[in-house]
Structure 1
Amino acid sequence: MRLATYERAGHVRAGVVSEAGIHALSAEVTVLDLVRAGLPAAHEAGQEALASPAVPLDDVRLLPPLEPPSVRDFVAFEEHVEGMVAPGPVPPEWYEAPTFYFTNPAALVGAHDDVPVPPGSTLFDFELEVAAVVGSEGIFGYTIFNDWSARDLQRREMKVNLGPAKGKDSATTLGPWLVTADELESYRDADGFLALDMRVSVNSVEVGHDRLSNMGWPFEELVAYAARGTRVRPGDVFGSGTCGNGGCLAELWGRGGTHAPLKPGDEVEMTVEGIGTIRNTVVAGETLPPVRPARPRQS
């Protein structure tokens, strides 16, 4: 089942997506409500919605599928790490345990929304990922996750041994919908990974292609690690981290590639097998004054 949140004629609703279009759920029900209720209750509500007339997808604006309490993003693809640290080796600490950071749940954008370049950035980048959404009893479903990145801002702030922060928090695309976990079980391989084909193109030219099963850990282990000594809640989003083989431009740059950073007018399209396609256009961002440097400590 594919659950979506959409806007039509100024009204925001949750619905179930079929070949015919999108079928509205009850007016008071959100996708987050269904995630909290669990898969059986969500399927029951979805079947009721499918009995109602469908609205064509072309007549709605797809919003992020849900409003999550938190968003964590891991770095679970070894090949991606190799490209980011090239020509050096992958840090041995990467193999010891999954690593993640928290990003901004208030900066999520929809599957076809425009994405502004962050203020002050000239090295804007995409990141092809899949995200798992946790339910009341394990993983509820999956969606595509584009972790837009201002590489110049990210590089500066991480030299302070903290972050990423402003290099990452301007926009994250989630979409086009949330596919319930049962729909993707047929893709699971013998080691417990989802063998989904992942592709990204810029202006209709493919620049990256990988499989989700190339993660170092399956999502279940990422969630279990995140929960150690703390709490995760239904609706929390867990990004896989960027896939390898051109999952982002910075990885290509690390391997000697010359692809230009994203600029206004560029269209980034991502397709993940079994989930769908998202397509965002980069637009000019705000022009803001420079950041004031810190005052040095007075002796």
Structure 2
Amino acid sequence: MRFATYVSPRDGTDHVALVKDGALHGLPDRRLIDVLSPERLADAADRAIRAPVEVLPEGSVRLRAPVPQPPSVRDFMAFEQHVVTASAALGREVNPDWYELPVFYFTNPAAVCGPTDPVAVSPGSSAFDYELEIGIVVGAAGRDLDPACAESHVAGYTVLCDWSARDLQAREMALGLGPVKGKDGATSLGPYLVTPDELPDRGAGNAPDVGMRALVNGELWSEGRFSDLHWTVGQLLAYASRGTALRPGDVLGTGTVGTGCILELSAVHGAETRPWLRPGDRVRLEVDLLGAVETTIQPAPPVRPLH
């Protein structure tokens, strides 16, 4: 099953839809977060087919993030190639503890935006970057989860882009905290929430084997696979829930797939061939079976001085 949150032309408000056969089968439900358990999702899908409030062609309405206001957004750093290459780009070696702890940071739920919403450069940044990731959406609450069965708490997957101001991030993290303003300007999610049964088996990998790509102004810049994840999805959920509760609608980002950001690409290809994003650039981040986030980069708002 795949679900979307869309702005209904009937009343101008958010509604949930089952996406099937090229159409959105609308429901009266206004928040996907309220139907994220497997049983409720199945019931919602059944209601959408039997008695939709409207049926609209895909592409005819504005899609919001599947969960526009998640309770929390955690972003991991779970692809080894990204960690190795990005660390080298910053002149560091990989901390051995990375292989023991699937580290993450909390980012800004208020900055979540939809799959086609414009994204502005962070104020004061001249090193704006995309990050090609997958978002894991929690469907069933739980705490201190067992890694072996934690995936049963997943409602579905979506495309995630953690937009990053690398220059701001570097300054903040040098002070022992962060990434703070390096990351909280925008996080794009969408276009759909796709339930786990729609994705292929993981094979020999740690996650479903689907391809991931990033294109800038129509040119392929990044390419990777979800199955290259170093930590399993169950391990990410288990660590996130250690000593605390995961709630329906919580979003866990996988972190950047290998070569899935300009920070890495400039280290591999040179900054002159993969420059930082500028206003007017068109960025498309796509994942097989999950769809694509696509946006045009906007100018940064002015910086308001603190002194």
TM-score of the superposition, structure 2-length normalised?
A: 0.90
Residue-by-residue CA offset, 1:89-115 (whole Å, 9 max, x unaligned): 322121111000000011011111110
Deviation of 1:219 (Å): 1.2
Distance 2:305 2:128 in 1: 18
User: What stretches of structure 2 of length at least 5 have no aligned partner?
Assistant: 141-151
Residue 111 of structure 2: aligned partner? 107
User: Residue 154 of structure 2: SS of its match in structure 1?
Assistant: strand
1:182 aligns with 2:183: no
Contact 1:139 1:220 in 2 (8 A): no
Structure 1 residues 25-84: Cα deviation after superposition (integer angstroms, max 9, x where no partner) = 12x44210011xx11221121122123352122221110101211000000011111121
Residue equivalent to 1:91: 95
Letter of the 1:274 counterpart: L
Q: Give the distance between the partners of 1:253 and 1:268, measured in 2 at CA.
A: 17
How far does residue 20 in structure 1 lie from its aligned partner after superposition? Answer: 2.9
1:234-253 matched pairs, under 5 angstroms:
234-244=248-258, 246-253=259-266
Q: In the alignment, is residue 257 of structure 1 matched against residue 259 of structure 2?
A: no
**1:29–1:11 CA distance, 2 compared to 1 (3 A):** closer
Aligned ranges for residues 17-166 of structure 1 at < 5 Å? 17-26=19-28, 28-35=29-36, 38-51=37-50, 52=52, 53-66=54-67, 67-86=69-88, 88-136=92-140, 138-166=153-181
Runs of 4+ in 1 over 3 A off after TM superposition: none
Structure 2: which amino acid aligns with 1:225? Answer: Y
Per-residue CA shift, 1:201-229, capped at 9, x if unaligned?
Answer: 10000000001111110111101011111
Q: How many residues align?
A: 287
Question: 1:187·1:196 contact (CA, 8 Å) conserved in 2?
Answer: no
Q: Which runs of 5+ in 1 are unaligned?
A: 293-299
The answer for the alignment partner of 1:195 in structure 2 is: 209
Residues 29 and 110 of structure 1, relative CA distance in 2, 3 Å threshold: closer
Distance 1:215 1:58 in 2: 31
Which deviations, in whole Å up to 9, do the C-alpha atoms of 1:250-292 show, x marking residues without a partner?
1122335221110111011011112111111101121123343
What is residue 287 of structure 1 aligned with on the other side?
302
RMSD: 1.5
Larger CA deviation: 261-270 vs 42-51:
42-51
Residue aligning to 1:215: 229
Amino acid at match of 2:81: E
User: Are the aligned partners of 1:85 and 1:254 in contact in 2 as well (CA < 8 Å)?
Assistant: no
Distance 1:24 1:68, change over 3 A: same
Query: Percent of aligned positions with the same letter in both sequences?
Result: 45
